[in-house]
Amino acid sequence: MPNTSPPTVKKELYGWIGVTVFLLVNAWFLNFNAFRGFNFFDFGCFMDATWRIMHGQKPYTDFIFFVGPVHLYMCAIFYLLFGFGKWAVLVHLVAVSSALVALTYRVARKYLSIPLAVLTSVLTGIAFYWPVSHPWYDQSAHFWGLLAFYAYLFWYPFERNRQAFWVGVLSGSAVIISLMTKTNVGTTYIPLIFFMFLISPNFQRTVPGFFVGAFSALIVLLVCLGNPAAFYNQTFQTFSIPSQTIQRFLPFVYIPTYLLNEYWVGLLVMLYAIRSHWKKVFRLLILSLGVYALAIFTTVTGSMKTTANIPLWGPFMMLVFIAVAQVRPHLTTTRRQIENSICTGLLVILSFLLICNGALRGFALEAWTYGNIDPFGTYPMKTKQLKGWLANQRTGEAVDHLVAYLDEYASKDDSLLVLTDLQILYLLTHHQSYKGIPFNFADGKVPSPGPQTEQVRRYILSHPPDWVVTHRNPLYQSLVSKIVLHLGLQEFLEKDYASITWLNDYILLKKIKDSF
């Protein structure tokens, strides 16, 4: 049952003013937080992958890419409009998070009072992007999945069969886009949204619409990829190593897994509040349980640090509030009504605690604290595209040095191969990204051991680059410091390349002309 309080223009204006104030705070915080530390390993590879597609390269064909392509094209839109650099990153963050906050408020307002709708919208904005503070493919996938979820929640109950069909089309398209952004996220939205359409009174229209939207989006995206077989191989086969798959699913046998990120607290409060009238809110109960399961599944199977993977806090709490509010008209005793009010109050307190906790995780840049890495930089980058972005002192100095040297001495037609975690060098030096290799490297993991590693090795040997950037010391502890050894290229580089310049942990090599 939707919120039945009579709307007034003045009353609704107060709600949107509250949302707008938060959006301004959100933009300020993202501007403050996003440039406090540049993670060369994680940020650079996706920026380079976007650089590649903007210069005609195709993922899965021209370079190895083991996640869905949609996030790259989302990034490309902002880079096309604002150029490669801090401004495009900030606008991307603000635009996506602002759209989600506004959508959350609009959907929540259908069912909840203005204060609760604003509260859940603020929680959504903080939890979604603050702990990451960088355009990231998990968030992009959740954005499209939530679009499908919100479409269903906003238009239900459907007034006409035509409306039911087109909501199905919209939702089906959105979940496939989510799947083609990040598979472990999209695969959880698909069954949830499909089941909700299946149990709706208009299922004769919603289900066909869902399939029409899903298959249409899938066909369009696969045609645009140009090589669906390579997409399937790199995304699902090559990196789906059985031992790693088992390791990712193993946590589901442990009870603490289901207590991750405090979702269980709101769920228990809701279950207590609706215990006698759960049939009255069966649809909301299924949705709440579904989003809870979705949140746990995507957290456990994803690569993001668990404590930073909280993008569903806001939507989940919105559902919980709605379910508790929906049973209130069916409560006939004063005691039950008081219990309902207490449960609502507890959920409000929980939401404020989550807002504070999410803000702290954002301030700590929680997503980038894995492996005891300090996410905060102390060195302001000097290279134009990243100017002012704080970075690790040793790495930042090396990047600025290498960019300056290559700009002065390397022709733009010279080929460059980056065998380290500095994929960002391609776009910083305006060189074409080296084809035939993964969009990033990780010792012993990327490229995948076996045929893919041999394929990359053969390609490099048959297409020797003019310049190579790698680590000076293979014993240096990083995720990619041993990639030359992993690819079996040590003898090749020692024989055919000369050291030209170096700084800190990185070295630039140049091909010896007489060797070829």
Instruction: Look at residue 165 and tell me if it is in a domain.
Output: yes
The angle subtended at Cα 287 by Cα 216 and Cα 267, nearest 5°, is 145
Instruction: Look at residue 431 and tell me if it is in a domain.
Output: yes
**220-272 confidence digits (pLDDT tens):** 999 998 899 999 888 887 765 544 556 667 777 788 899 999 999 999 999 99
- Quote the DSSP letter at residue 158: P
Strand order in the sheet with 497-503: 416-419, 467-471, 506-511, 497-503
**389-424 confidence digits (pLDDT tens):** 999 999 999 999 999 999 999 999 999 999 999 999
What ranges make up the beta strands (E) of 98-238? none
> Are 99 and 21 part of one and the same domain?
yes
Reading phi first (left if > 0) and then psi (alpha if -120 to 50, else beta), residue 379 is in beta
Percent of the chain at pLDDT > 90 equals: 85
Residue numbers of the domain that contains 111 = 9-372
> Are 340 and 485 part of one and the same domain?
no
Tell which residue, 385, 481, 480, 395, has the closest CA to residue 441.
480
Query: HSE (CB half, 13 Å, CA atoms) of 445?
Result: 12
> Are 357 and 397 part of one and the same domain?
no
Instruction: Look at residue 2 and tell me if it is in a domain.
Output: no
The reported pLDDT for the residue numbered 339 is: 96
Cross-strand partners of 390: 380
Instruction: Look at residue 114 and tell me if it is in a domain.
Output: yes
For the record, the structure tokens of 303 come out as 């690569």
> What single letter denotes the amino acid at residue 24?
L
Instruction: Look at residue 4 and tell me if it is in a domain.
Output: no
> Are 391 and 258 part of one and the same domain?
no
Where does a domain end: 372, 401, 418?
A: 372
Instruction: Look at residue 3 and tell me if it is in a domain.
Output: no
> Are 40 and 137 part of one and the same domain?
yes
The reported pLDDT for the residue numbered 243 is: 47
> Are 474 and 326 part of one and the same domain?
no
Q: Residue 265 is inside which H or E element, if any?
A: helix 263-273
The reported pLDDT for the residue numbered 352 is: 98
How far does Cα 320 stand from its chain's mean position?
A: 24
Tell which residue, 461, 462, 472, 463, has the closest CA to residue 499.
472
Q: What's the first-to-final CA gap in the chain, in angstroms?
A: 75
**Average pLDDT, rounded, for the chain:** 93
Q: Give me the mean pLDDT over the 201-217 stretch.
A: 96
The reported pLDDT for the residue numbered 251 is: 79
**61-80 confidence digits (pLDDT tens):** 999 999 999 999 999 999 99
Where does a domain end: 345, 372, 399?
A: 372
> Are 410 and 506 part of one and the same domain?
yes
Write down the residue that tokens 């012993």 correspond to: 444
Determine the Cα–Cα distance for residues 194 and 211; give it in Å rounded to an integer: 9
Instruction: Look at residue 75 and tell me if it is in a domain.
Output: yes
> Is 371 exposed, middle or buried (CB count within 10 Å of its CB: 0-12, 13-18, 19+)?
exposed
Q: Give me the mean pLDDT over the 459-463 stretch.
A: 97
> Are 368 and 386 part of one and the same domain?
no
**20-52 confidence digits (pLDDT tens):** 999 999 999 999 999 999 999 999 999 999 999
Structure confidence at residue 4 as a pLDDT band (50, 70, 90): low
Q: Give me the mean pLDDT over the 357-383 stretch.
A: 95
> Are 19 and 115 part of one and the same domain?
yes
* Domains contained in the chain, number: 2
> Are 140 and 215 part of one and the same domain?
yes
Cα dihedral sign, 32-38-42-45: positive
The reported pLDDT for the residue numbered 295 is: 97
Q: What is the largest CA-CA distance in the chain?
A: 92
> Are 287 and 389 part of one and the same domain?
no
Determine the Cα–Cα distance for residues 175 and 213; give it in Å rounded to an integer: 9
List own/partner pairs for 139-142 with CB under 8 A and 24 or more apart. 139/96, 139/311, 140/70, 140/71, 140/74, 140/96, 140/181, 140/182, 141/68, 141/70, 141/71, 141/178, 141/179, 141/181, 141/182, 141/185, 141/186, 142/178, 142/185, 142/298, 142/311, 142/312
204-213, 378-387, 431-440, 469-478: range with lowest mean pLDDT? 469-478
What pTM was computed for the model?
A: 0.94
Q: Give me the mean pLDDT over the 289-295 stretch.
A: 97
Instruction: Look at residue 17 and tell me if it is in a domain.
Output: yes
Where does a domain end: 351, 372, 393?
A: 372
> Are 493 and 367 part of one and the same domain?
no
* 373/124: higher pLDDT: 124
